[in-house]
Amino acid sequence: MATLTLTFLLLLATKLPATLAGHCTTTTATKTFEKCISLPTQQASIAWTYHPHNATLDLCFFGTFISPSGWVGWGINPDSPAQMTGSRVLIAFPDPNSGQLILLPYVLDSAVKLQKGPLLSRPLDLIRLSSSSASLYGGNMATIRNGASVQIYASVKLSSNNTKIHHVWNRGLYVQGYSPTIHPTTSIDLSSFSTFDVTSGFATVNRNNGNRALKVTHGILNAVAWGFLLPAGAVTARYLRQMQSIGPTWFYIHAAIQLTGFLLGTIGFSLGIVLGRNSPGVTYGLHRSLGIATFTAAALQTLALLFRPKTTNKFRRYWKSYHHFVGYACVVMGVVNVFQGFEVLREGRSYAKLGYCLCLSTLVGVCVAMEVNSWVVFCRKAKEEKMKRNGLTGDDRCSGGVHS
């Protein structure tokens, strides 16, 4: 029941929006535009005026810096939507020599995405750019700082039969010389693209639904498997085995829970590999390392069942020590990595994380209650044995602990 509740909460929370949209305006200090739309990420927006008689688009992109030495960029992909590769962009950043705001054109080819070399400025070949400029909100007194607003102006000549624009935007932390470095790779930053019609103003967010579905499935499977079932299996092994009334049933319950968690976790791990292959140049180092370590430890735990010595074997105690150490390490790494996954998906303050925390807290509460009960039973038995040996009431002190 707890697993079903956790899955439901995670599914519910993934439907909640995680983007930050900005408030659009058609008026700037130097120009007034006809239309504007708020973009779905980074509190950005865009305003424009389309001149159908000559198919010219005058526009202004509104963005914000995330670092005093950072950059803000906007551009058009003439080939396809939902793609950074192939985009022709204008990037604003502080000049490394004068510190003044400058705007340079760049072409984002596949080498840039794979970080094979620095991003170098070059003319826009497939975009007929009539003019471009950039300014800070606040005029001459404004300075480039974290949170500073920037406006990128451009006049673009469009094809007369094409009024839809596939555009991209983003921002980064710093610039090396005149080469902007890679932007953050959170889900918000990787979703900064959309398509809008310059005549109607209708905008479409071109999400990669395939990858999104994989991410949701990957997250739910791993949260249930590594983040809940494996800890629950460890709890059953530690406390149910002390109940003599159920006999060896505790072992079958423990094995069933752990095996189910491992199978679900294996599917989730495989989906993670697929997601990594589908996102070249995007790496979540800690999340990936913890995922590999958790899966390896769980696989060792599963294989250990095949080499489980009999209770009379002299190597039994060494096997138990190994099994306990690897098992608890797997549980800890799995839970930590679930929280890492929430951060990767920018769900750190979501209802999904809240639901998982509630389920995990319930499991921890059960552990505390069972641990207290085990100590009470242990002390009572120790006292009774001492009274039988001495034939006296003895004292209430006991030593030792629960043997797992």
Tokens representing residue 161 in the block: 């039969």
User: Is 23 annotated in some ligand binding site?
Assistant: no
Beta carbons of 18 and 40 less than 8 angstroms apart = no
Indicate the SS3 state at residue 396.
coil
| Tokens describing residue 240 | 């149910």
Helix axes 351-390, 316-344, angle to 10 degrees: 150
CB 237 within 8 A of CB 249: no
Contact 233, 264 (CB under 8 A): no
Residue type, 231: P
Spell out a b/e string for 327-349, using b for 16 or more CB atoms within 10 Å of the CB, else e. beebbebbbbbbbbbbebbbbee
Between CA 389 and CA 397, with CA 392 as vertex, the angle to 5 degrees is: 85
CA 163 to chain centre: 35
254 is in an annotated binding site: yes
Distances (CA, A) of 402 to 254, 289, 362: 18, 33, 21
Q: Are strands 88-94 and 71-76 parallel, antiparallel or unpaired?
A: antiparallel
Q: Is 218 annotated as a binding residue?
A: yes
Tokens in use for 198?
């310059």
Identity of residue 116: K
Residue 331, both tokens: 């549980």
DSSP string, 148-170: -EEEEEEEEEPPTT--EEEEEEE
Question: Which residues carry a binding-site annotation for heme b?
Answer: 218, 254, 287, 323
Question: Which residues carry a binding-site annotation?
Answer: 218, 254, 287, 323
